[in-house]
Copies of this chain bind each other. A is one copy, B any other.
Amino acid sequence: MAELKRLKRELIHKGSIIDLYKDYVEIPNGNIAEWDFIGHKGAAAIVPVTDEGKILMVRQFRNAMDRNTLEIPAGGLNSGGQEPTIECAARELEEETGYKSQELEFLISIATSVAFCNEMIDIYVAKNLKPSKQNLDDDEFVDVEEYSVDELCNMIFTGIIQDSKTISAILAYKEKYCS
Contact = CB atoms under 8 A, between A and B. Distances in A.
Interface of A: 1-4, 6, 12-13, 15-18, 20, 22-23, 25, 27-29, 31, 33-38, 43, 59-66, 68-69, 71, 76, 108-120, 138-139, 141, 143, 153, 156-157, 159, 162-165, 167-168, 171-172, 174-176, 179
7 contacts: A17-B36, A108-B159, A110-B164, A113-B117, A164-B165, A167-B172, A171-B171
Nearest to A12: B13
Given A37-B63, A138-B29, A179-B179, A119 B113 contact: yes
Pairs A-B, 4 closest by C-beta atoms: A2-B141, A171-B171, A164-B164, A15-B36
Contacts of A29: 138
Instruction: Please give the count of copies of this chain that the complex contains.
Output: 2
A29 B23 CA distance: 39
A157 B176 contact: yes
Contacts of A141: 1-2, 4, 27-28
